[in-house]
Amino acid sequence: MITHPKPEELTEAVGRWIEEIRPALDPRNQFLARVAANALAAVTRELKLGEEAKAAAVQRLEPILGHGGSYEGLTWELCEKLRAGELGVETPGLLAALRANALDQLAIDQPNYKHEAS
């Protein structure tokens, strides 16, 4: 059986290579290499954690909105209902769902961010 590297394995490998060569670069390119490595790390985390975070968000939003749907569709509807004032802080489960969704996104975007739940 032929197995291929997973996308997250490829991004991790390129990120490690960038970090390996970065010290030999001039200061400007060291900085740019660090930016590139950080971007690859974010992509890697999205590949590893993104689908699970979206699935969890859907499970949180479905009872609040009263029906199923895609992550994108439910998120769009949530935003529209918040803008229209149809949902608010008094909506049961809304703040807990928003907080959990934000923490899942932080785990992808800024995993070293220290929030009060840490």
How many domains does the structure of the chain reveal? 1
> In this structure, is residue 118 part of a structural domain?
no
> In this structure, is residue 22 part of a structural domain?
yes
Which pLDDT tens digit goes with each residue over 40-99? 999 999 999 999 999 999 999 999 999 999 999 999 999 999 999 999 999 999 999 999
> In this structure, is residue 74 part of a structural domain?
yes
pTM: 0.81
Query: In Å, what is the CA distance from 75 to each residue of 16, 56, 57, 84?
Result: 35, 12, 9, 14
Q: Which domain holds residue 31?
A: 7-109
> In this structure, is residue 1 part of a structural domain?
no
> In this structure, is residue 28 part of a structural domain?
yes
* Calpha distance 44→28 (Å, rounded): 24
**CA atoms lying within 13 Å on the CB side of residue 39:** 7
